[in-house]
Every structure is written in structure tokens, then in C-alpha cells.
Amino acid sequence: MSQRTIAEKISCTGIGLHTGAPVQLTLHPARVGSGIVFVRSDLAHPVEIPARRDSVTSTVMATTLGRGDATVSTVEHLLSALYSLGVDNARIEVDGPEIPVMDGSAASFVFLIRSAGLFDQNAPRRLLRIRETLEVRDGDRAIRIEAARSLRVTYSVDFAHPAIGRQSLSDVEVNGDTFEREIGRARTFGFLREVETLWRNGLGRGGNLDNTVIMDDHRVLNDDGLRWSDEFVRHKILDLIGDISLLGVPLAGHITAVRGGHALHQALVEKILANPHAWVLEGGDADTAALEHLPVGAPAQASA
């Protein structure tokens, strides 16, 4: 498999889910081995923020990346689309502190990437292949990864709400077709009773019925209802894919998550990076910016 970028630059505008502020986003093609890099283009001196685990500054209600005083939040939906469509290298300029929420899913970003086109580059991809099972537990929450031929996800959620309850999806293979068909259109969700608390904490200011599935104590308030009866667990898988992409390299392994969230997703990324004996890097050259955060001496082998 070759590394991939987008064929041409493309832009969109929207508002931030948590800031409520208008923002413009522009995706640019990027050179081989550069990885996914966010750029705060609105600052006096633009700041580059690599999409990697060591850039994570917060996992409260969204995944936020930062470098120095510059941050960009709610990156997971865009990253999920880029990862699932196989985009390894891209430069993402954003003129504010948050990625636009669009309709609350990754569908708009899939459309954006497809419209720009995909371009296969003259360099092989790296692949991080799990060899030994790794697990993180936090009370009744847990996440595990074990060996598999490709990235697969099994996810379960359990909310004490009549519109959600217990939902699960098993053995979802992460690829462009499956993502577009089964995962990418699943929207973020929230509860009406939490809105005032979010506002007091400077969050959720851009959320509305056009970009969020909102529930009172009994039902979904959106006039168009749900896109799937289990849209909630599908959105959790969407978030997980975006969060796990912060490894900075494609992943082969089967992830099983129970009652997960951004913090638990990042705990798994940390666990993987801290245990290089449990995985192997296959294919390509290791001397790339996208891989410089991987543990020194991480095992590698040429792909067949």
C-alpha cells in the first residue's frame, strides 16, 4: 500500500460545537511522511500542531491538540474521516481554536475529502500491527486491543436513558466503504439537562438541533429523529477511530471498548506506545516526521 494525500486543496466553513464561533477549514495536500498536521492560521505566527498523541492537551467533551498556547479542539470527526479514507498526509489550516462541527458527524468531511480527490504517493505506508493483547480498565469502563489482520472495532455503550440504553456493534472493519455506509453519518449527541452546565464551562455553545442529537429526559428532540436506532454507539466508534489515529500510523488490531470515551481512547494509545514489545512496524521507511514520536528502538520489519 502507498501513502496517500488529497489531490488538491479544498475548504469549508462552519461553527465550532463548543465555542460557537465561525471557522474556516482548508485541507491541503502534504508531502510523503509528513503525517496529518493542523495549522492555526489565524495567529500572528501560524502554529503547526501534529496530529499525534503527544499533542493532546484535553479529552474533556472532545479531543483537543495543542502546541504552546495554540490549540485546536474537536479534531476527532475530521481525523476519523481522514483515517478511514486512508489519508496519511495532509496539512489542515483552521482560522480558529476548533474544527467546524458541520452536521455533528463526519459525513461532511468525507464529502470534502472525496471532492478534493485522493492521491497515491510514491512511498509505501507503514503499519503498526498488534502482536500481544493490551488492555486498560477504569472501573466499569474498559478498552482492549488484540491481534487482527486489519483495524476492527467492537464497541458497547450503556446509558440510563430510554432512547439509548445498551447498544453494541461487533467486529466492524474500518475502511472507507464501511465508514461511509455504517459509521460516518452518526452524529454527536447530548442531553438537554446538561446544557447549562456546559455553557458555564464554556462548552456546547454551538450545539443545536442541526448538528447534535439532543435528548430531554425521555426522548430525542430532533424533528428528523435518529439516522439509526443505534446511532449513539456508531458515533462512539467514529470518535474512537479519530482518537486512535493519533498513533500517527495506520493500525492493525481488534479494539474492544466498553463504555468508552475520549480519555479511555487516549489511554489505549498511551498503552500501545508504552509497550513496543506488543507490536511491530511493517513496511516503508521509519525516518518520517509522522513516526518520530514512536518509541526509540521500536521493532520494524519489511512487508512482504
237-274 burial by CB neighbour count: b if 16+ within 10 A, else e?
A: bbbbbbbbbbbbbbbbbbbbbbbbbbbbbbbbbebbbe
- For residue 240, report the phi and psi dihedrals to the nearest 5 degrees: -60, -45
Residue in 18, 28, 262, 265 annotated catalytic: 262
Q: Is 262 a catalytic residue?
A: yes
Nearest to 173 by CA among 86, 253, 282: 253
Q: Could you give the angle at the alpha carbon of 269 between the alpha carbons of 265 and 272, nearest 5°? A: 135
Quick check: helix, strand or coil at residue 219? coil
Facing residues of 215 across strands? 191, 220
Sign (positive/negative) of CA torsion 295, 297, 298, 300? positive
Q: Where are the beta strands (DSSP E) in 30-102?
A: 36-40, 47-50, 56-58, 64-67, 70-72, 90-94
**What's the CA gap between 214 and 249, in Å, rounded?**
34
Q: Looking at the chain, how many residues does it have?
A: 304
- Alpha-carbon distance values, 63 to 98, 110, 228, 300 (Å): 10, 19, 24, 29
**What's the CA gap between 178 and 58, in Å, rounded?**
29
Nearest to 241 by CA among 180, 302, 159: 180
Active site residues per annotation: 262
